[in-house]
Amino acid sequence: MSGDAMAVKEVSPDYMLTTAKPAVPAGYKHTDAGVIPTDWEVKRLGDIAGFRTGPFGSALHKSDYVTDGVPVINPMHIIDGQLVPTTTMSISEDAAKKLADFRLQLNDIVIGRRGDMGRCGVVRSAHSGWLCGTGSMIVKPTTKAYPDFLQRILSSSEIISKIESSSVGSTMINLNQATLSNLPVQCPTVEEQRAIATALSDVDALLEELDRLIAKKRDLKQATMQQLLTGQTRLPGFEGEWVARRLSSIAEIRSGGTPSTSTAAFWNGDIPWCTPTDITALNGEKYLSDTDRRISSAGLKSSSAEIIPAGAIIMTTRATIGECAINLAPMTTNQGFKNLIPTSVNGEFLYYLMTIQKARLIQLCAGSTFLEIGKKQLDGFKLLIPNDKDEQQAIAEALSDIDRDIQALDRRRAKTRALKQAMMQELLTGRIRLV
């Protein structure tokens, strides 16, 4: 190959910088670690931390593994910056003693070196003595780095893309010490690092506590349902025996159908058409307002699908049994449903009552390839309910309030997550300073 025409001139390495370089505001500078305050430094990770690669696979033998021994931390055990060991992935104390060099010490950072990059967590006092797994590496911050700050940097998307572009390994990215050592890291004073890390840790703690609170409220909801929907605990002012009613005597049961999929004119009309995926996508939420697919009125006429008026209970009865939702708009469903239109029962109450019937509903099932509830069995399905409609409504309201409370907490958690994201973006780049 010859001829100047074919040669491609090497692009100047500054090319990207000169064209895409944004204006740097006063008091900030452009560095390998991004735009940072002028009084921050950029250091190579190798200058502020030491490294140790996890032990060889062959250093651990099958016989070393025990349940509930010394936990071994592999990338799969580092989740959202936390070290989460499993009981099966642990070795005996004797085996761990032989691998003393690889045991974790307070304030080490464990980082995964295979697979997903950026999985890393700080070793707390409770984790001290655990073992760095074959798939992990230990980063030991020197006094120039605050471990929690460094951990935030190492799990940031900027660092992850730097690692990915310089790492070796074809099927799985494999991180080595050289790559790590060369990473540019922004370094405020240790004091400032600490302040930033503390602010972020507090948000994390809040998120974690919100998770626990939500879990607790869900448990409480379950406990409340077990009490209120069985009549074991009665709301004040209500008495009288509950009565057993056939489902068909308190609600009209309508099934669904599927228009021929080969006729395009039956599809993409304006009638919502519900499939089990729509219900599972709700993740336990109560109301279904829209569906993924729609059919036309011609499609409706051609099939056994029926319009279910708003406020009915849409319930899966094939393969996935007993998943329920209340539809907020009139819609149709496919044949994997039996839908309950309340005739002489409070709809919300019936919804809650059906959500705790899954085990009983499965008992009703027949069907060859998958479980399915027949119309006949469902008609005769007996439910114990209060005769007094006011009591039904009172129970439904109590449970709805719990649901609304949980939903509000869910939203608060989502908002806090977004807030954390924003705080990270501002604080780690020094765009907002805490000092």
Partner 1 sequence: MAIKKSELYSSIWASCDALRGGMDASQYKDYVLFMLFIKYISDKYADYDGFEPPVVIPNGASFKDMIQLKGKSDIGDKINTQIIQPLVDANQRLARTDFPDFNDANKLGEGKAMVDRLSTLIAIFQSPKLDFAKNRAEHDDILGDAYEYLMRHFATESGKSKGQFYTPSEVSRILAQVLGLGPHNTTARTSAYDPTCGSGSLLLKVAAEAGKHITLEGQEKDVTTAGLARMNMILHDFPTANILQGDTLANPKFKEQKGKDGEQLRTYDYVVANPPFSDKAWSTGLTPDNDPFQRFSWGVPPAKQGDYAYLLHVIRSLNSTGKGAVILPHGVLFRGNAEAVIRKALVRSGYLKGVIGLPANLFYGTGIPACILVLDKENAQARAISGDKNSGIFMIDAAKGFIKDGNKNRLREQDIHRIVDTFRKQLDVPRYARMVPFDEIADAKNDFNLNLPRYIDTSEPEDLHDIHAHLNGGIPERDIDGDPAGFPPVPGLAAYWQVLPGLRRALFCANKQPGYADLAVDMSTVKAAILEHDEFARFRNTAIALFNDWRTRNTKVLKAFDLDGHPKTLIHQIGEDLLDSFRKAPLLDTYDIYQHLMDYWADTMQDDAYAIAADGWIAEPRRVLEEMKAGKKQGQLKDKGWACDLIPKPYIVARYFAKQQAELAELQTELDSISSQLTELEEEHSGEDGAFAELDKINKGEVAKRLKEIKGDRDSAEEAKVLKQWSTLEKQQSELKKQIKELDATLDQLAHDQYPKLSTDDIKTLVVDDKWLTALETAVQNELERVSQTLTGRVRELAERYATPLPQLTKRVEELSARVDEHLKKMGVSWA
Binding site for partner 1 (CB under 8 A): 53, 55-56, 58-59, 67-68, 176-178, 181-182, 199, 202-203, 205-206, 209-210, 212-213, 216-217, 219-220, 222-224, 226-227, 230, 232, 359-360, 362-364, 366-369, 416, 419, 423, 426-427, 432, 434
Q: Of 202 and 290, which has the nearer Cβ to partner 1?
A: 202
Instruction: Give the C-alpha distances (Å, rounded to integers) separating 280 from 250, 274, 283, 326, 351.
Output: 26, 11, 6, 13, 16
Nearer to partner 1, 53 or 393 (CB): 53
- Residue (227 or 344) nearer to partner 1, CB: 227
CB contact at 8 A, 104 and 138: yes
Q: Which of 339, 259, 255 is nearest to 297 (CA)?
A: 259
Q: How far is the CB of 156 from partner 1 (least distance, A)?
A: 18
Question: Shortest distance, CB of residue 365 to partner 1, whole angstroms?
Answer: 10
CB of 296 or CB of 357, closer to partner 1: 357
The answer to whether residues 273 and 332 touch, using CB atoms and an 8 Å cutoff, is yes
* CA gap 292, 281 in Å, rounded: 10
Residue 77, phi-psi category: left (phi > 0), alpha (psi -120 to 50), beta (remainder): alpha
Nearest-approach distance from CB 333 to partner 1, in angstroms: 24
Q: How far is the CB of 338 from partner 1 (least distance, A)?
A: 19
Q: Looking at beta carbons only, is 212 or 389 nearer to partner 1?
A: 212
How near is the Cβ of 68 to partner 1 at its closest, in Å?
Answer: 5
For residue 172, the 8-state DSSP code is S
Nearest to 396 by CA among 342, 339, 433: 342
Cβ atoms 214, 417 nearer than 8 A: no
Nearer to partner 1, 202 or 390 (CB): 202
Q: How far is the CB of 88 from partner 1 (least distance, A)?
A: 10
> Rounded to whole angstroms, how far apart are CA atoms 304 and 283?
28
